[in-house]
Amino acid sequence: MFEAVLSKTFSPVASRCYSHGKVETDEEFDARWVTYFSKPDIDGWELRKGMNTLIGYDLVPEPKVLDSALRACRRLNDLASAIRILEAVKDKAGPHKDIYPYLIQELQPTLAELGISTPEELGIDKL
């Protein structure tokens, strides 16, 4: 009954319930977002818009997408947004506590290269 409806409407992210039209694969989706944030002259609005859209999806962004977003923050000299991105993905993971440590592990080289502190290092992860 509901299972049939759910499996059609709740497939991950940007796939709509078209009977025509191709469903985007996860790799295509990730590649599209990496390209979005890789725009050399991306502006602050596009960064915020991109992140807000990305956070609206039913997924936690892949490390490579986040890497691209963090580098965009670097180009914009926006450290605050970079740290905010880390907070946002931690929140996106919700009750799944294994996702955020994995992401930090994968992003460690990028964080070190760009000099981005994690919210935990700054002590702003506690209320």
Partner 1 sequence: MSLAKPLMRGLLAKRLRFHLPIAFGLAFAAAVAFKYTVTEPRKRAYADFYKQYDAVKEFNAMREAGVFQSVRPSGE
Please report, as ranges, the residues that interact with partner 1 according to CB under 8 A: 1-3, 6-7, 10-13, 26, 58-62, 93-94, 96, 98-99, 101-102, 105
Q: How far apart are CA 71 and CA 101, in angstroms?
A: 20
Closer to partner 1 at the Cβ: 50 or 61?
61
Residue 40 C-alpha from the chain's centroid: 18
The tokens for 69 are 């977003």
Q: How far is the CB of 78 from partner 1 (least distance, A)?
A: 25
Q: How far is the CB of 79 from partner 1 (least distance, A)?
A: 25
What's the number of CA atoms in the CB half-sphere (13 Å) around residue 44? Answer: 6
Q: How far apart are CA 34 and CA 27, in angstroms?
A: 10
Q: How far is the CB of 26 from partner 1 (least distance, A)?
A: 7
Q: How far is the CB of 60 from partner 1 (least distance, A)?
A: 4
Buried b / exposed e over 54-70, threshold 16 CB at 10 Å, is beeeeebbbbbbbbbbb
